[in-house]
Amino acid sequence: MSQYILGIETSCDETAAAVYHQERGIQSNVLYSQMGLHRQFGGVVPEIASRSHIEKIGMIVQKALDDAQLELEAIETIAVTNKPGLPGSLLVGLCFAKGIAWALHKNIIGINHLEGHIFSPYLEYRPPFPHMCLSASGGHTALYLVHDFGQYTLLGQTLDDAAGEAFDKVAKLMNLAYPGGPLIEKLAHQVDFHDFYHYPRGQRKTLDFSFSGLKTAVLYDLIKNNAYDMKTKQFIALEPLQTQQKVASSLLVCIKDIFVHKLEYALELHPSIKAVTFVGGVACNNYIKSCLDLLCKQRNISFFAPSARYCTDNAAMIALVGSYKAQRNQYDTLALDIFE
Ligand code: KG4
Ligand code: ZN
Protein backbone atom coordinates (compact mmCIF):
# COMPACT_ATOMS: atom_id res chain seq x y z
CA MET A 1 0.00 0.00 0.00
CA SER A 2 1.35 3.45 -0.82
CA GLN A 3 2.39 5.70 2.00
CA TYR A 4 3.31 9.27 2.90
CA ILE A 5 7.01 9.99 3.47
CA LEU A 6 8.24 12.98 5.46
CA GLY A 7 11.61 14.20 4.17
CA ILE A 8 13.97 16.20 6.39
CA GLU A 9 17.11 17.92 5.11
CA THR A 10 19.55 19.90 7.29
CA SER A 11 22.96 18.95 5.87
CA CYS A 12 24.21 22.50 5.28
CA ASP A 13 22.52 25.90 5.47
CA GLU A 14 18.94 25.05 4.49
CA THR A 15 16.36 23.78 6.94
CA ALA A 16 13.97 21.83 4.74
CA ALA A 17 11.00 19.49 5.06
CA ALA A 18 8.70 17.93 2.47
CA VAL A 19 5.89 15.40 2.21
CA TYR A 20 5.92 12.91 -0.66
CA HIS A 21 3.22 10.41 -1.53
CA GLN A 22 4.37 7.22 -3.23
CA GLU A 23 1.71 7.46 -5.94
CA ARG A 24 0.79 11.12 -6.05
CA GLY A 25 4.30 12.59 -5.69
CA ILE A 26 5.17 15.87 -3.91
CA GLN A 27 2.53 17.10 -1.47
CA SER A 28 4.56 19.94 0.06
CA ASN A 29 8.07 21.34 -0.05
CA VAL A 30 9.15 23.88 2.58
CA LEU A 31 12.49 25.56 3.04
CA TYR A 32 14.11 28.08 5.31
CA SER A 33 17.33 29.38 3.80
CA GLN A 34 19.97 30.67 6.22
CA MET A 35 21.74 32.55 3.42
CA GLY A 36 21.10 35.92 5.06
CA LEU A 37 22.77 34.75 8.28
CA HIS A 38 25.96 33.64 6.55
CA ARG A 39 26.25 36.35 3.90
CA GLN A 40 28.30 38.74 6.03
CA PHE A 41 30.90 35.98 6.59
CA GLY A 42 31.24 35.15 2.87
CA GLY A 43 30.40 31.47 3.43
CA VAL A 44 28.57 29.05 5.73
CA VAL A 45 29.59 29.22 9.42
CA PRO A 46 28.93 25.70 10.85
CA GLU A 47 28.14 26.82 14.41
CA ILE A 48 25.61 29.41 13.23
CA ALA A 49 24.11 26.86 10.84
CA SER A 50 23.37 24.25 13.52
CA ARG A 51 21.94 26.80 15.94
CA SER A 52 19.60 28.11 13.26
CA HIS A 53 18.49 24.56 12.31
CA ILE A 54 17.51 23.94 15.97
CA GLU A 55 15.44 27.12 15.99
CA LYS A 56 13.61 26.45 12.74
CA ILE A 57 13.20 22.70 12.30
CA GLY A 58 9.98 22.29 14.31
CA MET A 59 8.28 25.13 12.47
CA ILE A 60 9.42 23.94 9.04
CA VAL A 61 8.25 20.34 9.58
CA GLN A 62 4.89 21.62 10.84
CA LYS A 63 4.54 23.86 7.77
CA ALA A 64 5.31 20.91 5.46
CA LEU A 65 2.52 18.92 7.17
CA ASP A 66 0.11 21.89 7.06
CA ASP A 67 0.78 22.52 3.36
CA ALA A 68 0.11 18.83 2.66
CA GLN A 69 -3.03 19.08 4.87
CA LEU A 70 -1.87 16.14 6.94
CA GLU A 71 -1.40 15.31 10.61
CA LEU A 72 1.83 13.64 11.68
CA GLU A 73 -0.19 10.43 12.25
CA ALA A 74 -0.63 10.06 8.46
CA ILE A 75 3.14 9.81 7.92
CA GLU A 76 4.53 6.27 7.90
CA THR A 77 8.19 6.90 7.19
CA ILE A 78 10.67 9.67 7.93
CA ALA A 79 13.51 10.02 5.42
CA VAL A 80 16.32 12.14 6.83
CA THR A 81 19.65 13.21 5.35
CA ASN A 82 22.40 11.60 7.46
CA LYS A 83 25.39 12.13 5.12
CA PRO A 84 27.45 13.92 3.90
CA GLY A 85 27.34 17.42 5.39
CA LEU A 86 28.24 19.58 8.38
CA PRO A 87 28.15 17.26 11.43
CA GLY A 88 26.33 19.73 13.69
CA SER A 89 23.72 20.47 11.04
CA LEU A 90 23.15 16.80 10.15
CA LEU A 91 22.73 15.97 13.85
CA VAL A 92 19.87 18.45 14.27
CA GLY A 93 17.84 16.84 11.46
CA LEU A 94 18.65 13.30 12.53
CA CYS A 95 17.83 13.85 16.21
CA PHE A 96 14.55 15.53 15.29
CA ALA A 97 13.64 12.65 12.95
CA LYS A 98 14.59 10.06 15.56
CA GLY A 99 12.52 11.84 18.19
CA ILE A 100 9.38 11.62 16.05
CA ALA A 101 10.14 8.06 14.92
CA TRP A 102 10.62 6.88 18.50
CA ALA A 103 7.67 8.72 20.03
CA LEU A 104 5.15 7.91 17.29
CA HIS A 105 6.51 4.56 16.07
CA LYS A 106 7.40 5.70 12.56
CA ASN A 107 9.89 4.05 10.21
CA ILE A 108 13.15 5.92 9.70
CA ILE A 109 15.54 5.87 6.72
CA GLY A 110 18.90 7.67 6.51
CA ILE A 111 19.45 9.27 3.10
CA ASN A 112 22.64 10.18 1.31
CA HIS A 113 22.28 13.84 0.27
CA LEU A 114 24.16 13.19 -2.98
CA GLU A 115 21.73 10.40 -3.89
CA GLY A 116 18.95 12.93 -3.31
CA HIS A 117 20.47 15.26 -5.92
CA ILE A 118 21.04 12.38 -8.40
CA PHE A 119 17.35 11.37 -8.34
CA SER A 120 15.92 14.91 -7.99
CA PRO A 121 14.87 14.99 -11.71
CA TYR A 122 12.28 12.27 -10.91
CA LEU A 123 10.30 14.80 -8.86
CA GLU A 124 9.15 16.23 -12.21
CA TYR A 125 10.34 13.99 -15.06
CA ARG A 126 10.98 10.36 -15.95
CA PRO A 127 14.52 10.19 -17.37
CA PRO A 128 15.14 6.71 -18.81
CA PHE A 129 17.72 4.36 -17.26
CA PRO A 130 20.62 4.10 -17.72
CA HIS A 131 21.56 7.76 -17.94
CA MET A 132 24.47 10.07 -17.20
CA CYS A 133 24.14 12.52 -14.30
CA LEU A 134 26.25 15.64 -13.85
CA SER A 135 25.87 16.85 -10.27
CA ALA A 136 27.35 20.24 -9.36
CA SER A 137 26.83 22.29 -6.23
CA GLY A 138 28.74 24.23 -3.60
CA GLY A 139 29.97 21.07 -1.88
CA HIS A 140 30.43 18.55 -4.67
CA THR A 141 30.88 18.05 -8.41
CA ALA A 142 30.65 14.59 -9.93
CA LEU A 143 29.60 12.53 -12.92
CA TYR A 144 27.58 9.35 -12.42
CA LEU A 145 26.25 6.54 -14.54
CA VAL A 146 22.75 5.95 -13.15
CA HIS A 147 21.48 2.39 -13.70
CA ASP A 148 18.23 2.42 -11.70
CA PHE A 149 16.70 3.93 -8.56
CA GLY A 150 19.40 3.67 -5.90
CA GLN A 151 21.94 2.18 -8.31
CA TYR A 152 24.65 4.41 -9.69
CA THR A 153 28.38 4.31 -10.44
CA LEU A 154 30.72 7.25 -9.84
CA LEU A 155 32.58 8.02 -13.09
CA GLY A 156 34.56 11.02 -11.89
CA GLN A 157 34.51 13.76 -9.29
CA THR A 158 36.32 16.89 -8.24
CA LEU A 159 39.78 16.40 -6.82
CA ASP A 160 39.64 19.71 -4.93
CA ASP A 161 37.00 22.49 -5.01
CA ALA A 162 33.44 22.05 -6.23
CA ALA A 163 32.16 24.07 -9.22
CA GLY A 164 29.82 26.12 -7.03
CA GLU A 165 32.72 26.78 -4.69
CA ALA A 166 34.69 28.24 -7.62
CA PHE A 167 31.80 30.65 -8.30
CA ASP A 168 31.54 31.51 -4.60
CA LYS A 169 35.30 32.04 -4.11
CA VAL A 170 35.76 34.21 -7.20
CA ALA A 171 32.69 36.24 -6.21
CA LYS A 172 34.25 36.78 -2.78
CA LEU A 173 37.50 37.95 -4.42
CA MET A 174 35.49 40.65 -6.18
CA ASN A 175 33.52 41.73 -3.08
CA LEU A 176 30.33 40.11 -4.36
CA ALA A 177 27.88 38.57 -1.92
CA TYR A 178 27.49 34.86 -1.08
CA PRO A 179 26.41 32.71 -2.87
CA GLY A 180 28.34 33.87 -5.90
CA GLY A 181 26.78 31.67 -8.61
CA PRO A 182 23.60 33.66 -9.31
CA LEU A 183 25.47 37.02 -9.25
CA ILE A 184 28.19 35.73 -11.56
CA GLU A 185 25.49 34.59 -14.00
CA LYS A 186 23.78 38.01 -13.87
CA LEU A 187 27.05 39.90 -14.52
CA ALA A 188 28.07 37.52 -17.32
CA HIS A 189 24.69 38.04 -18.99
CA GLN A 190 25.39 41.80 -19.15
CA VAL A 191 28.39 41.17 -21.41
CA ASP A 192 26.72 38.39 -23.43
CA PHE A 193 28.76 35.53 -21.98
CA HIS A 194 31.92 36.61 -23.77
CA ASP A 195 35.20 34.88 -22.89
CA PHE A 196 37.59 37.79 -22.13
CA TYR A 197 40.40 36.08 -20.23
CA HIS A 198 40.27 32.43 -21.32
CA TYR A 199 41.02 30.85 -17.93
CA PRO A 200 42.60 27.37 -17.95
CA ARG A 201 40.24 24.46 -18.71
CA GLY A 202 42.47 21.73 -17.26
CA GLN A 203 42.95 18.19 -18.53
CA ARG A 204 40.47 16.90 -21.07
CA LYS A 205 40.89 13.12 -21.11
CA THR A 206 39.82 12.41 -17.57
CA LEU A 207 36.39 12.33 -15.94
CA ASP A 208 37.70 13.92 -12.74
CA PHE A 209 37.34 17.66 -12.22
CA SER A 210 39.62 20.28 -10.69
CA PHE A 211 38.48 23.83 -9.97
CA SER A 212 40.94 25.09 -7.36
CA GLY A 213 43.36 26.48 -9.98
CA LEU A 214 40.62 28.73 -11.34
CA LYS A 215 40.53 30.99 -8.31
CA THR A 216 44.31 31.38 -8.53
CA ALA A 217 44.10 32.14 -12.26
CA VAL A 218 41.48 34.83 -11.63
CA LEU A 219 43.47 36.31 -8.75
CA TYR A 220 46.62 36.39 -10.87
CA ASP A 221 44.76 38.20 -13.65
CA LEU A 222 43.24 40.70 -11.23
CA ILE A 223 46.64 41.52 -9.73
CA LYS A 224 48.18 41.84 -13.19
CA ASN A 225 45.47 44.35 -14.13
CA ASN A 226 45.94 46.32 -10.89
CA ALA A 227 42.48 45.26 -9.80
CA TYR A 228 43.50 43.57 -6.56
CA ASP A 229 45.69 44.67 -3.65
CA MET A 230 47.43 41.65 -2.11
CA LYS A 231 48.36 43.65 1.03
CA THR A 232 44.84 44.67 1.98
CA LYS A 233 43.26 41.72 0.15
CA GLN A 234 40.84 44.12 -1.47
CA PHE A 235 39.32 44.30 -4.91
CA ILE A 236 40.32 47.76 -6.22
CA ALA A 237 39.19 47.93 -9.82
CA LEU A 238 38.98 51.44 -11.24
CA GLU A 239 35.96 50.39 -13.25
CA PRO A 240 34.64 47.73 -10.86
CA LEU A 241 31.49 46.80 -12.76
CA GLN A 242 33.32 46.30 -16.01
CA THR A 243 36.04 44.19 -14.40
CA GLN A 244 33.49 42.16 -12.46
CA GLN A 245 31.49 41.54 -15.61
CA LYS A 246 34.53 40.44 -17.60
CA VAL A 247 35.81 38.10 -14.88
CA ALA A 248 32.33 36.71 -14.20
CA SER A 249 31.67 36.05 -17.86
CA SER A 250 35.08 34.44 -18.51
CA LEU A 251 34.68 32.24 -15.41
CA LEU A 252 31.19 31.10 -16.38
CA VAL A 253 32.24 30.26 -19.95
CA CYS A 254 35.27 28.40 -18.59
CA ILE A 255 33.20 26.26 -16.19
CA LYS A 256 30.63 25.64 -18.94
CA ASP A 257 33.44 24.46 -21.26
CA ILE A 258 34.80 22.13 -18.57
CA PHE A 259 31.32 20.58 -18.17
CA VAL A 260 30.87 20.28 -21.94
CA HIS A 261 34.26 18.58 -22.38
CA LYS A 262 33.65 16.15 -19.51
CA LEU A 263 30.22 15.22 -20.80
CA GLU A 264 31.54 14.77 -24.35
CA TYR A 265 34.29 12.49 -23.09
CA ALA A 266 31.94 10.54 -20.81
CA LEU A 267 29.48 10.03 -23.70
CA GLU A 268 32.36 8.92 -25.92
CA LEU A 269 33.24 6.27 -23.30
CA HIS A 270 29.58 5.27 -22.87
CA PRO A 271 28.08 5.58 -26.37
CA SER A 272 24.86 3.71 -25.53
CA ILE A 273 23.66 6.44 -23.11
CA LYS A 274 20.53 8.16 -24.38
CA ALA A 275 19.78 10.65 -21.55
CA VAL A 276 21.68 13.19 -19.44
CA THR A 277 20.57 14.89 -16.22
CA PHE A 278 22.07 18.05 -14.69
CA VAL A 279 21.45 18.51 -10.94
CA GLY A 280 22.62 20.46 -7.86
CA GLY A 281 22.71 24.21 -7.15
CA VAL A 282 24.84 25.03 -10.21
CA ALA A 283 22.11 23.49 -12.41
CA CYS A 284 20.10 26.68 -11.67
CA ASN A 285 22.42 28.34 -14.17
CA ASN A 286 20.40 28.94 -17.34
CA TYR A 287 23.45 29.59 -19.51
CA ILE A 288 25.16 26.28 -18.62
CA LYS A 289 21.82 24.48 -18.84
CA SER A 290 21.13 25.71 -22.37
CA CYS A 291 24.67 24.81 -23.52
CA LEU A 292 24.35 21.27 -22.15
CA ASP A 293 20.88 20.97 -23.64
CA LEU A 294 22.29 21.95 -27.04
CA LEU A 295 25.12 19.41 -26.74
CA CYS A 296 22.56 16.68 -26.03
CA LYS A 297 20.23 17.77 -28.87
CA GLN A 298 23.14 17.56 -31.33
CA ARG A 299 23.66 13.96 -30.21
CA ASN A 300 20.00 13.00 -30.12
CA ILE A 301 20.15 12.53 -26.37
CA SER A 302 17.39 13.74 -24.05
CA PHE A 303 18.33 16.25 -21.38
CA PHE A 304 16.68 16.85 -17.99
CA ALA A 305 17.36 19.50 -15.35
CA PRO A 306 15.06 20.01 -12.35
CA SER A 307 13.33 23.34 -11.63
CA ALA A 308 15.52 25.68 -9.55
CA ARG A 309 13.72 24.79 -6.28
CA TYR A 310 14.75 21.14 -6.72
CA CYS A 311 18.31 21.95 -7.89
CA THR A 312 19.35 23.69 -4.68
CA ASP A 313 19.12 21.77 -1.42
CA ASN A 314 15.59 20.62 -0.64
CA ALA A 315 13.76 17.91 1.28
CA ALA A 316 11.53 16.76 -1.60
CA MET A 317 14.46 14.90 -3.18
CA ILE A 318 15.25 13.30 0.20
CA ALA A 319 11.63 12.13 0.57
CA LEU A 320 11.70 10.75 -3.00
CA VAL A 321 14.77 8.61 -2.25
CA GLY A 322 13.04 7.58 1.00
CA SER A 323 10.06 6.50 -1.07
CA TYR A 324 11.89 3.96 -3.23
CA LYS A 325 13.89 2.72 -0.25
CA ALA A 326 10.64 2.19 1.69
CA GLN A 327 9.23 0.24 -1.27
CA ARG A 328 12.23 -2.07 -0.93
CA ASN A 329 11.95 -2.29 2.85
CA GLN A 330 15.35 -0.64 3.28
CA TYR A 331 14.51 0.84 6.67
CA ASP A 332 17.06 1.83 9.31
CA THR A 333 16.86 1.48 13.08
CA LEU A 334 17.06 4.18 15.73
CA ALA A 335 20.80 3.39 15.95
CA LEU A 336 21.16 5.42 12.72
CA ASP A 337 24.07 7.87 12.91
CA ILE A 338 25.50 10.71 10.83
CA PHE A 339 28.55 10.51 8.56
CA GLU A 340 30.47 13.58 7.43
O1 KG4 B 1 22.95 22.42 -4.03
P2 KG4 B 1 23.25 23.68 -3.29
O3 KG4 B 1 22.07 24.53 -2.88
O4 KG4 B 1 24.03 23.42 -1.97
C5 KG4 B 1 25.06 22.48 -1.86
O6 KG4 B 1 24.77 21.28 -1.68
O7 KG4 B 1 26.22 22.94 -1.97
O8 KG4 B 1 24.26 24.55 -4.21
C9 KG4 B 1 24.71 25.83 -3.85
C10 KG4 B 1 25.72 26.27 -4.89
C11 KG4 B 1 26.45 27.56 -4.52
O12 KG4 B 1 27.83 27.36 -4.66
C13 KG4 B 1 25.92 28.56 -5.53
O14 KG4 B 1 26.87 29.57 -5.88
C15 KG4 B 1 25.60 27.67 -6.71
O16 KG4 B 1 25.08 26.49 -6.15
N17 KG4 B 1 24.60 28.30 -7.59
C18 KG4 B 1 24.87 28.69 -8.85
C19 KG4 B 1 23.70 29.34 -9.33
N20 KG4 B 1 22.75 29.30 -8.35
C21 KG4 B 1 23.33 28.65 -7.29
N22 KG4 B 1 25.98 28.57 -9.59
C23 KG4 B 1 25.95 29.08 -10.82
N24 KG4 B 1 24.89 29.72 -11.35
C25 KG4 B 1 23.74 29.87 -10.65
N26 KG4 B 1 22.70 30.51 -11.19
ZN1 ZN C 1 23.34 19.77 -2.08
Give the pLDDT confidence of 156-211 residue by residue, as tens digits.
Answer: 999 999 999 999 999 999 999 989 999 999 999 999 999 999 999 988 899 999 99
Task: Look at residue 25 and tell me if it is in a domain.
Answer: yes
Least reliable range by pLDDT among 117-131, 192-206, 283-297: 192-206
103 and 133, same domain (yes or no): no
Give the residue-averaged pLDDT of 117-145.
Answer: 98
CATH of the domain at 29: 3.30.420.40
Give distance in angstroms: CA of 179 to centre of ligand 2.
Answer: 13
Q: How would residue 140 be classed by pLDDT, with cut points 50, 70 and 90?
A: very high
Least reliable range by pLDDT among 65-74, 123-132, 238-247, 255-264: 238-247
50 and 178, same domain (yes or no): no
Is there a contact between 185 and 286 (Cβ–Cβ < 8 Å)? yes
Give distance in angstroms: CA of 224 to centre of ligand 2.
Answer: 35
Task: Look at residue 338 and tell me if it is in a domain.
Answer: no
95 and 179, same domain (yes or no): no
Segment 208-267, tens digit of pLDDT:
999 999 999 999 988 887 888 888 888 887 777 799 999 999 999 999 999 999 999 999
Task: Look at residue 236 and tell me if it is in a domain.
Answer: yes
What is the extent of the structural domain holding 218? Answer: 127-305
Task: Look at residue 340 and tell me if it is in a domain.
Answer: no
Q: How would residue 323 be classed by pLDDT, with cut points 50, 70 and 90?
A: very high
Task: Look at residue 332 and tell me if it is in a domain.
Answer: no
Helix 240-269 vs helix 180-190: crossing angle, to nearest 10 = 100
Task: Look at residue 333 and tell me if it is in a domain.
Answer: no
Residue of 325, 268, 338 whose CA lies nearest to 116: 325
Task: Look at residue 81 and tell me if it is in a domain.
Answer: yes
23 and 135, same domain (yes or no): no
320 and 270, same domain (yes or no): no
Distance, in Å, from the CA atom of 99 to the CA atom of 254, rounded to the nearest integer, reads 46
12 and 63, same domain (yes or no): yes
85 and 178, same domain (yes or no): no
Distance, in Å, from the CA atom of 118 to the CA atom of 114, rounded to the nearest integer, reads 6
pLDDT surpassing 90 at residue 146? yes
Give distance in angstroms: CA of 137 to centre of ligand 2.
Answer: 6
DSSP for 110-175, written as a single string: EEEHHHHHHHGGGGT--PPSSEEEEEE-SS-EEEEEEEETTEEEEEEEBSSS-HHHHHHHHHHHTT
Q: What is the pLDDT of residue 229?
A: 87
Percent of the chain predicted with pLDDT > 70: 100
51 and 150, same domain (yes or no): no
133 and 282, same domain (yes or no): yes
63 and 195, same domain (yes or no): no
Q: What is the pLDDT of residue 322?
A: 98
Is there a contact between 291 and 298 (Cβ–Cβ < 8 Å)? no
When divided into structural domains, the chain yields a total of 2
113 and 251, same domain (yes or no): no
Q: What is the pLDDT of residue 40?
A: 85
Q: Residues near ligand 1 with C-beta < 6 Å? A: 12, 137-139, 164, 167-168, 179-182, 185, 280-282, 284-285, 312-313
Task: Look at residue 224 and tell me if it is in a domain.
Answer: yes
Closest ligand 1 atom, CA of 113? 6
Ligand found nearest the CA of 171:
1
Q: How would residue 314 be classed by pLDDT, with cut points 50, 70 and 90?
A: very high
Q: How would residue 20 be classed by pLDDT, with cut points 50, 70 and 90?
A: very high
280 and 143, same domain (yes or no): yes
